[in-house]
Amino acid sequence: MGVLIFTHDADKYRVGDYVEGSEVVCAPNVEGLTVIVHKKNPTAKECLDWLPYISYRMVWVCAKPPKIKKNDSVIIDGRFEQSDYTRSIDATMRWRDRSKAKEECEKVPIPLMLSFLRENNKDIELWRTLAKSFTHVPESFQQNLIAFAHKPVRRMAWPKKKRSDEIILPLGVRSSDLYWQRIIENSREAANDLRITEKDALPKGVKKRAQKKIEDWL
């Protein structure tokens, strides 16, 4: 039996054979395979249910690990105490010295930083590049992109509290892109890409589980 690992940062585990996604995308019983799952708040049951089938390791990248009784097969990698990131976020958004801003950016979880970046940077090319980076580069590259591609603002805008019926726009999509939902609904490939990067942004009625492409059925 392998191990369950809870961490903030998946970079150190992207070595050898590994798969990665916003859900368990591959059976973890393959020898030497690292399965990386991004989920903000996983439950103890869904994690422990996988434990008997893990051959090597399953890494959960989360904001807070679930409460699990002491278990030699469960590893907490990093500190998960709640922190105040206000100063680091403000520095990333406003400081003109981008090298120092990068140092502050590295202290903040990427999802939290992105929520502030949405309000302070409307550069569509930056957002499209970020969208691609989530499936192709380590977290440190994403932080570099945020720090050095973002132009400092004079006053930082705070994220607005979302209404329960508010539509979440995926990375790289503008509010003026009228047909993005129709594209996701009718393109399995586009929907599968969104399932990997931002599952919560899927239009209502679209399944969250990855779907086979038409050519896979033939």
Of 23-27, 129-133, 152-156, 210-214, which one has max mean pLDDT?
Answer: 152-156
CA distance 120 to 125: 14
Please report which confidence band the pLDDT of residue 18 belongs to, taking 50, 70 and 90 as the band edges. Answer: very high
Return the pLDDT at 208. Answer: 73
Which of the two residues, 177 and 26, has the higher pLDDT score?
26
pLDDT band at 92 (very low <50, low <70, confident <90, very high): very high
Separation between Cα atoms, residue 150 and residue 126, nearest integer Å: 8
Residue 63 has pLDDT above 90, yes or no: no
- If you write DSSP's letter for every residue of 83-111 in order, what string do you get? ---HHHHHHHHH-S-HHHHHHHHTTS-HH
Spatial separation of the C-alpha atoms in residues 217 and 28, rounded to whole Å? 24
The string of DSSP letters for the chain reads --EEEEES--GGG-SSEEEEESS--S-TTSTTEEEEEE-SS--HHHHHTTGGG-SSEEEEE-SSPPP----TTEEEES-------HHHHHHHHH-S-HHHHHHHHTTS-HHHHHHHHHHH---HHHHHHHHHHHHHS-HHHHHHHHHHHSPP-SSPPPPPPPPTTPPPPPTT--TT-TTHHHHHHH-HHHHHHHHHH-GGGSPTTS-SS----HHHH-
Taking the C-alpha atoms of residue 100 and residue 167, their distance in angstroms, rounded to an integer, is: 35
* Residues in the chain, overall count: 218
84: pLDDT confidence band, cut at 50, 70 and 90? Answer: confident
Whether the pLDDT of residue 125 is over 60: the answer is yes
User: 77-91, 109-123, 186-200: which range is least confident on average?
Assistant: 186-200
Asked if residue 151 has pLDDT above 90, the reply is yes
Does the predicted TM-score (pTM) go above 0.85?
Answer: no
Q: What is the mean pLDDT of residues 160-176?
A: 60
